[in-house]
Amino acid sequence: MQRPSVTMKDVAKAAKVSVMTVSRAFNADKSVNAESRKKILAIAESLGYVFDATAANLRTQKSGFVAVTIPSINNANFAATVDAISERLAQAGLQVLLGYSGYAIDREEELIVQLLRRRPEAIVLTGGHHSPRARRLLENAGIPVIEIWELPADPLGHVVGFSNAQTMHGMVDHLVALGHKNICFVGGEETGDQRGMDRRRGFIEAMTAHGLSPEHLFAAGPAPVSMREGALAMAKLLDSFPQADAVVCVSDLIAFGALSECQRRGIGVPEDIAIGGFGAYEIAAVAHPTITTIDPQPREIGYRTAALIIDLLDPARDVAPRQRVEIDWRLLAAGSTSRRV
């Protein structure tokens, strides 16, 4: 039960070759005889040898890791982005080292330190808001830094994202075109969720641009907010502002909670009140009515991020610094916002 610790040396001895040849066999170096290689790998397998990446990394100064931070693992959209990153990077032999910042800037700083100690070859950060020390560490790390899911005003390095504020212009335009005027917003207060706050800001901008009052803002509590909070916030909203004819929610989960609350009260959606969400979560497509939402293409964010990293790590390619990849978002109009008569 103790570490058997079969090393390359043991394999070399058993195969009657030098350690170097074993190393070459494992790294698929062409200079090693194909037959020797096959034999060596077979002997290694029979000895139960497992290549030690730690030692190789130290020598080559390449960890094979890409560090990724997300606010929470329990969010289908971030999960989709991470999944896409992992999938694409695995093809390039890179492994994702994942960490959760818990929507807290100081948790993120500590996390970044822990991740940098592993000497990742690149680091991906969800969001563009970091502590001063975190910024310093990242700037000095000497590795590509990619911020995703936002378009930070002052990016650390590369960016793969979209304007969360802009998406809300799309949503408000859609509702105004349908004849809505008393439009409210739920979520995105000061909570550490920068993207939610950006969407709230975008809502205010868009309402103002249409000459409508952007003052009907309802809190849903600190991130992460979900369905339950959506129902509670909607109850508050209906009680305090019954004239509301549309509600924009910071996420589809909130929107679904809001929809549930309406159904509980016998309020018709979209006849009495329209509801819009964000995120194109599965629930938006399955709920009754289906929920109008914004698709931010989370997998596309992941793929583009991974592709950028692969390019950046390829010494043959000379990628310009501070790439800015803007991801298209789409409004998906659905049953929860239908034409007014």
Residue owning tokens 């929507």: 103
Interaction of residue 26 with DNA, rule CB under 7 A: yes
Separation between Cα atoms, residue 263 and residue 184, nearest integer Å: 18
- Residues in Cβ contact with 6 at an 8 Å cutoff, skipping those fewer than 6 apart: 47, 48, 49, 50
Work out which of 7, 57, 323, 338 binds a copy of itself, going by CB under 8 A. Answer: 57
Closest CA to 275 of 249, 309, 295: 249
Separation between Cα atoms, residue 27 and residue 260, nearest integer Å: 57
Separation between Cα atoms, residue 84 and residue 296, nearest integer Å: 14
Separation between Cα atoms, residue 83 and residue 268, nearest integer Å: 37
For DNA, the closer CB: 12 or 70: 12
For the CB of residue 86, give the shortest distance to DNA in the complex, in Å.
23
For the CB of residue 41, give the shortest distance to a copy of itself in the complex, in Å.
12
Interaction of residue 285 with DNA, rule CB under 7 A: no
Q: How far is CA 197 from CA 189, 220, 243, 247, in A?
A: 6, 12, 25, 16
Partner in contact with 282, chosen from a copy of itself, DNA, none, beta carbon below 5 to 8 Å by kind: a copy of itself
For the CB of residue 23, give the shortest distance to DNA in the complex, in Å.
3
Residue owning tokens 């890179």: 94
Q: Are 57 and 119 in contact (CB under 8 A)?
A: yes
For the CB of residue 207, give the shortest distance to a copy of itself in the complex, in Å.
28
For the CB of residue 163, give the shortest distance to a copy of itself in the complex, in Å.
25
Work out which of 2, 61, 140, 243 binds DNA, going by CB under 7 A. Answer: 61
Interface with DNA: number of residues (CB under 7 A): 27
Q: Are 304 and 259 in contact (CB under 8 A)?
A: no
Q: Are 331 and 291 in contact (CB under 8 A)?
A: no
Work out which of 4, 38, 58, 324 binds DNA, going by CB under 7 A. Answer: 58
- Look at residue 332 and give its three-state secondary structure: strand
For the beta carbon of residue 121, count every other beta carbon within 10 angstroms.
18
Stretch that binds a copy of itself, among 73-81, 190-198, 214-222, 265-273 (CB under 8 A): 73-81
Work out which of 16, 38, 264, 330 binds a copy of itself, going by CB under 8 A. Answer: 264
Interaction of residue 9 with DNA, rule CB under 7 A: yes
Partner in contact with 256, chosen from a copy of itself, DNA, none, beta carbon below 5 to 8 Å by kind: a copy of itself
Cα end-to-end distance, the chain, whole Å: 75
Work out which of 1, 28, 48, 59 binds DNA, going by CB under 7 A. Answer: 59
**Which tokens in the block code for residue 294?**
């914004």
Work out which of 7, 33, 36, 72 binds a copy of itself, going by CB under 8 A. Answer: 72
For the CB of residue 215, give the shortest distance to a copy of itself in the complex, in Å.
28
Stretch that binds DNA, among 57-65, 179-187, 259-267, 304-312 (CB under 7 A): 57-65
Q: Are 253 and 230 in contact (CB under 8 A)?
A: yes
Site string for a copy of itself, 161-200 (x = CB under 8 A): ----------------------------------------
Interaction of residue 240 with DNA, rule CB under 7 A: no
- Look at residue 3 and give its three-state secondary structure: coil
- Cα torsion 81, 164, 325, 146 to 10°: value is -60
For a copy of itself, the closer CB: 100 or 241: 100
Q: Which amino acid belongs to residue 18?
A: S
Q: Kindly list the residues in this chain that would bind DNA in the complex (CB under 7 A).
A: 5, 7-9, 17-21, 23-24, 26-27, 30-33, 36, 49, 51-52, 55-56, 58-61
